[in-house]
Amino acid sequence: MKTFRWIMMTLLLGVLGLQSVMAQVIGSNIVVTVTPDHQDWNYRVGEKAHFVVNVRKSGTLLDNVAVSYEAGPVMYPNAKKSLTLKDGTMKWTGEMNSPGFYRLKVVAHVAGKDYEGLCTAAFSPEKLVPYAQEPKDFDAFWQKTLDEARKVDLNPTKVLLPERCTKDKNVFEISFDNNRSGTKVYGILSVPVKAGKYPALLRVPGAGVRPYTGDVYTAPDRCIVLEIGVHGIPVTMEQKVYDNLLNGALNGYWECNLDDRDRNPYKRIVTGAVRAVDYIASLDEWDGKTIGVTGASQGGFLSLAVAALDKRITFLAAVHDAMCDYEAELHGVAGGWPHYFYHEGKTQKMNALEQARVEGARYFDGVNFARRIKVPGWYSFGYNDEVVPPTSSYGLYNIVKAPKQLSVYQMTGHYWYQEQWDEWQQFIEAELSK
């Protein structure tokens, strides 16, 4: 019996030990760092930014390492070269003669693997102005769109998800009609267990197709949270279903029908996000005063759109907001994801279809929504973001006239650090408590 226990204990410890080792695999032994000489990464136009590159293995400089690099304005590098760093280090100087962001990206090639580091310096970013043009009928288009959608009853459904409930929150999968009968928006609703009237938060999603678990962590006993999907499908199915849709019927949905504002999927998506505000306002538990909206990437764009289109929104928090200032790329300047016009270039004469795409995109440009925002907002992004360039995010921030806060985390890419997340949540909870 003792032997059996010993064997079982040995096996258990072995498994646990393996799991522990696997769980701790993180990072790389070879690290490429690119460091500017200004702590805040900010420079004035005409000023020189000096970068130091280090390639380290086990924390020490790596001798005779092959690297390739590119440098220049974000998304438009004008210098590319490969060389060998004898002592694992190099220096670089960059400058810009107009407001924008300059990026040095270095890739070390070691034993058949690539290791990347980058740094993005800002040059007078507070002077950036978006290129986005505004359709004359922008307001009329969206007012008509929402008026027509609101002729359709919400027809809400609500199903308790007991396995997701907490001591503070009841959690439900909900649905309601979007812009026509039978076209649904699905989401996860969390409501405080204790009866009462509460402020509300709408969480809007980044791009992609995925399930959602709901938010039970934001002021858990003090607010309603609705997290929505935007594809008109339930949000509690197996991951495989969403993977199949992303690779199949919904593949590249963000690029569909850009030339036709009425067939563009974002007409339905934006409308559904605003209808989510209608749904929240219909809840008996809502306090009738406070509704915030927040999201990152595509969700950042949707936060801008909802805040602009619905006067019941009282605050927003937008993180690395995508879909802003598409037209910048027609001028050789980094524009927002999905980079519709990156390949057109600033010198190419557009044909009729290409011109229609540009004009259609204007109805779904975050810049044109941001111009209409009147409520307090918290905006955050990273200079090193390679999906949503800081050029478009900073330019958008500059044109917002409402009360605003900017929190830059220079090193972050298309993700966020714990400190950034904590600050984001603190802003939301402070606004919900007003």
Q: Tokens representing 96?
A: 């810009």
d(C-alpha 271, C-alpha 144), whole Å: 11
Q: Name the one residue in this structure whose structure tokens are 């979007």.
A: 178
Rounded to 5 degrees, what angle do the CA atoms 301, 303, 308 make?
A: 100
For the chain of 434 residues, list the mean pLDDT of each consecutive stretch of 10: 39 42 76 98 97 97 97 97 97 97 98 97 98 97 98 97 97 96 95 98 97 96 97 96 95 95 97 98 98 98 98 98 96 95 72 92 98 98 97 97 98 96 98 96
For residue 429, the model assigns a pLDDT of: 98
Q: Does domain 138-432 have CATH number 3.40.50.300?
A: no
Q: What's the confidence (pLDDT) of residue 23?
A: 61
User: For the CA atoms of the chain, what is the radius of gyration?
Assistant: 24
* Residue 8 confidence (pLDDT): 39
Architecture of domain 30-126: Sandwich (2.60)
Please check whether residue 236 is in contact with residue 161, taking contact to mean a CB–CB distance below 8 angstroms. Answer: yes
pLDDT at residue 181, rounded to an integer: 87
Question: What are the residue boundaries of the structural domains of the chain, listed by start?
Answer: 30-126, 138-432
Question: How long, in residues, is the chain?
Answer: 434
d(CA 153, CA 167): 33
Q: What is the pLDDT of residue 13?
A: 39
pLDDT at residue 344, rounded to an integer: 67
Give the separation between CA 161 and CA 170, rounded to whole angstroms: 8
| Cα end-to-end distance, the chain, whole Å | 64
Residue 343's pLDDT is 78
pTM: 0.92
- The residues that are catalytic are 297, 385, 414
Do 30-126 and 138-432 share a fold?
no
